[in-house]
Chains A and B, each alone.
Chain A
Amino acid sequence: MRILERAAGVAQAAELYQELREGVEVSFRGGEIERVGAREVLGRALRVIVDGKLGFASTAGEEEEALVEAALASARYGDPAPFSFPELRCDDAAQVLDGEVLKIPPEELISWGEEAVRAIREEFPDVIVDAHLWRGKITVRLSNTSGGELSEARSSLSMGVEAQWIREGDIYLVWVSRTVRRREDLDPQVLIAEVLRYLRWGERVVPAPQGRPPVLLVPKGTLVLLLPLMVGFSGMSVALGTSPLKGKIGEQVFDPRFTLVDDGHLPFAPGSRSFDDEGVPTGRLPLAEGGVVKNFFYDLRAAALAKAEPTGSGIRGGFFRGSGFRSPPSPGLRNTVIQPGEGTLDGLIAGMKEGLIVADVLGLGQGNIQSGAFSNNVSTGFAVKDGRVIGRVKNTMIAGNSYEVLKDGLREIGGEPEWVYGLAHVPALLVEGVSVVTR
């Protein structure tokens, strides 16, 4: 704790965040193993408050003295800290570590990749298969001058399979991935089955239904609607006045069947953690219940600005948690859960007379998502006629407004939620009010 002590000698308050990322990754290209890699990266970030002003610095593999100096220099020119560091305590630990994950040898990850290649090429010999696997853990350690110290090791295991089916004049790509914390939650066979299903559905190219057909968003496609909400429910958007949900707590903004919860404590869920990256305990945070706006999610800063309580949502590394220790905390999501309805995917499809299934899109987040607008190229999508998938669509765009669709266009919520990008647990959504344009 020398860094914190040194900083505290000058600053009135200080906070040290450390993360150690360790693990093994395996990559397959063109159906063959290409690379096995190991990772052991220690990153640190120091926040200080000097004369009431906030400073920040981060480092990897550098001298402690440099980190302290850099944070103090930042505080010299910084702005008043709108918050103080919380006392660090955690009475309610989340389940986030599975020792079994850490025991998986590289050879076993390789064998999962080989199995994916084998199973897919057995049915589709011409399909090119790439795969990426990772197992490891991140150990987070947090201490500050308000007292206390927290640390937690979180395991993670992921598998992604990409299938490329290339024929003259037509390239079809399917990408399916899972990120979990517990070994038993990743079944390579389930993932492979999903790839195969999309390949079978996509054998034939058919015209997309035009105009405003019913659209069935299956898990990754759901992000089209969810992403604008993730921005809209952010306490920072609310504090800055850019969220269309500002001032709407208690209002019926969505369909009464729509319930959205961000839960930091779901056992072994990919985004679970006992405390956020500022040391605030996480928990279950309902964002919308029965279509009524309930809460926004806040880190320390956004909470202070909005005069609200922090919700354990201070996440480092940006929206998709990519850059880790380098970014100061900002409001982020842990596990975003849309409460499932009933009915199977097959049942939802069977109930569609004519429509479009959207399984993946290009350009997620492009366009004016603050206002709820989305406009995306359907990269993996299928046409449905008389309750049956009749083939894949190409050169098709969907567009609409997430808030409008989730208020007036929600026809059915599926009952089989799946994890998407290790961020959200979402069922299939059958919606109306999405415009479909095709060439």
Chain B
Amino acid sequence: MKANLQEALRNASADYAEIRWEVLERSRVAFQRDQLLALEHSREAGGVVRALVEGAWGMAVFTDPDQIPTKLAEAAELARAAARKVRNPIRLAEVQPVEDKFIPQLAQDFREIPLEEKRKLAERYNQVILNYSPQIVSSTVRYTDTLRHVYYANSEGTYLQQLIPDVTVLLLAVARKNGDIQQAFESIGEAAGYEVALDLEERAEAAARRAVELLSAKQVKGGKYTVILDQELAGVFIHEAFGHICEADFLLKNEPMRKVMQLGRRFGVEQLNVVEDGYIPGRRGNAPYDDEGVPRRKVYLIKDGVLTGLMHSRATAAATGMGPTGNARAVSWEHEPIVRMRNTYIEPGEASFEELLKGIDYGVYAKGAFGGQTEFEQFTFSAQYAYEIRGGEVGDMLRDVVLTGNVFDTLRNIERLGKDFQLKGGAGGCGKGGQSPLPVTDGAPHVRIRDVVIGGK
């Protein structure tokens, strides 16, 4: 492989060129109620080449490995077509060429587990959900494992081989009472072996129990509240609302936004620290090297409430005069690397959960993330479920809690941080620029925020 890729690169007529060839092995088992909707162990392979010519990118995506030299030529040709129109040429930040191999050790290699066993595992979880109560009318249980084998070479002499494992389990329950339908789910996602998918029966039951409980939960009343987010939801908040605007690609040719995102600007309380880290053992957001062959760097996005860093590709690093951070990631061989998050988290503070509750007359304790989306300063994300906070105590269950707001105001409105930190990689992933789902990890302690808008009747 190495000789082939390097030979093709030697003959490329571009200022810079790179080849990424990937072989993927994946298994997937999916049940919906009693239906086995997917049972698969497949392999696929494909590649992407990029060429930089006079400051413009050309790219080609393909599935035939014999075509690598042809595709490199095509990418260079397309780059030339674009280059004629370029006013501000793209430059790449300097990176030391490297030859390396990253092969993680899996406690229990999922490739050695027969598909039948994976099916039985998913089926067992599915039964736990379906048997929980007559009010459970449906379920979705999905197990996936993926081993992404990446071969990467560029014209500067970097050659990398990485094995990236990913295991996810989704346990979703749907409950129904008359016309009312509610759902709840639990999920895991880890860069690990089969072992992390085992022994999740209690999580399956928790999902079923919650779906049933939600049938009699109170509908939240729309309005402005002091809110406590649990670790998962706070993690999704920092990823969705803040993380995305720290991805430097959207600041690249965007002068006004660059002014908003000035390093040194205060974004939150003194206690607020936000980290973006490329490697934490076992976490699915890991990118030991990114898809431009750049080694990882841990970045403080916010330190002591002040903006101190951004996430970069080589191009954004060069344009802003900062160092590359290893955040150029591609979801697969079908895509180019773009600036993405890895493991993103709010560092813990010092408050106990009781201390966070103290003084909240009427508020909302929002738990679990259902989904989230952001558009620069505006964000929205939905809690799986929530509880009233009355007189400083957790009260009745609430449903349909969707939070929305302006990220800058919301960061300023963070009042306190808990000490109970948790990192979580779910069964989904992050979407950006048509690339989804990218494995990421989010994390946070419990976080108390004032003046959060919750939609509702």
Contact = CB atoms under 8 A, between A and B. Distances in A.
A120 B456 CA distance: 36
Contacts of A78: 36, 39
A32 interface: yes
Interface in A35-84: 35-43, 55-62, 66-67, 70, 73-74, 76-79
A107 interface: yes
Interface stretch (A2-10, A149-157, A286-294, A360-368): A360-368
14 contacts: A33-B86, A34-B56, A37-B78, A39-B62, A40-B60, A57-B41, A58-B42, A59-B44, A240-B35, A362-B380, A363-B380, A363-B382, A399-B457, A439-B405
Interface string A235-259: 0100011101000000000000000
B58 A36 contact: yes
Given A37-B78, A377-B404, A370 B174 contact: yes
B257 interface: yes
B85 A114 contact: yes
B267 interface: no
A90 interface: no
Contacts of B181: 242, 244, 368, 370-371
Contacts of A365: 371
Contact of B373 (A43, A242, A363): A363
Contacts of B404: 362, 377, 395, 397
Contacts of B453: 395, 397, 437-439
A128 B138 contact: no
Interface stretch (A138-146, A166-174, A264-272): A166-174
Which among A29, A36, A328, A376 has the greatest number of chain B C-beta atoms within 10 A? A36
Nearest to B48: A37
A30 B81 contact: no
Given A62-B43, A366-B381, A395-B406, A35 B58 contact: yes
Nearest to A67: B42
Nearest to B32: A240
A36 B181 CA distance: 46
B190 interface: no
Interface in A338-397: 362-368, 370-371, 373, 375-377, 379, 394-395, 397
Given A173-B375, A368-B183, A126 B256 contact: yes
Contacts of B336: 35, 37
B151 interface: no
B370 A379 contact: no
A95 interface: no
Report, nearest first, the 7 A-B pairs whose CB atoms are least far apart.
Answer: A30-B253, A397-B455, A61-B63, A377-B380, A37-B59, A166-B256, A437-B222
Interface of B: 32-33, 35-46, 56-65, 67, 71, 74-75, 78-79, 81-82, 85-88, 90, 114-116, 119, 137-138, 174, 176, 179-183, 222-224, 249, 252-254, 256-257, 260, 334, 336, 370-382, 399-400, 402, 404-406, 436, 451, 453-457
Contacts of A191: none
Nearest to A82: B35
Nearest to B38: A328
B370 A367 contact: yes
A102 B374 CA distance: 35
A164 B90 contact: no
A300 to B, nearest CB: 13
A395 B455 contact: no
A370 B38 CA distance: 22
Contacts of B78: 24, 36-38, 106
A35 B82 contact: yes
Contacts of B400: 367-368, 373, 375, 399
A398 B453 CA distance: 11
A305 interface: yes
A364 B78 CA distance: 35
B42 A59 contact: yes
Interface string A14-30: 00000000001010011
A375 B455 contact: yes
Contact of A73 (B32, B41, B249): B41
A166 B56 contact: no
Given A78-B39, A79-B36, A371 B253 contact: no
Contacts of A236: 32
Interface residues of A, number: 82
A57 B27 CA distance: 10
A280 interface: no
Nearest to B455: A397
A326 to B, nearest CB: 8
A38 B372 CA distance: 31
Contacts of B40: 56-58, 70, 74
Contact of A74 (B39, B60, B375): B39
A330 interface: yes
A397 B381 CA distance: 11
B44 A399 contact: no
A110 B82 CA distance: 8
B44 A397 contact: no
Given A38-B71, A437-B456, 7 more contacts: A32-B85, A34-B57, A40-B63, A59-B43, A70-B40, A322-B436, A366-B370
A181 interface: no
A365 B428 CA distance: 15
Nearest to A173: B375
Contacts of B182: 368, 371
Given A60-B46, A240-B32, A399-B455, A128 B372 contact: no
A173 B378 CA distance: 10
A82 B347 CA distance: 51
B115 A74 contact: yes
Contacts of B82: 26, 33-36, 106, 110
B82 to A, nearest CB: 5
A31 B253 contact: yes
A242 B63 contact: no
A60 B81 contact: no
A380 to B, nearest CB: 9
A32 B45 contact: no
Contacts of A242: 137-138, 174, 176, 181
A427 B71 CA distance: 43
Nearest to A129: B253
A273 interface: no
B97 to A, nearest CB: 24
Contact of B59 (A35, A77, A107, A330): A35
B411 to A, nearest CB: 14
Nearest to A376: B380
A438 B406 CA distance: 12
A366 B372 CA distance: 8
Contacts of A66: 43
A301 interface: yes
A74 to B, nearest CB: 5
Contact of A58 (B44, B114, B370): B44
A261 to B, nearest CB: 25
A371 B180 contact: yes
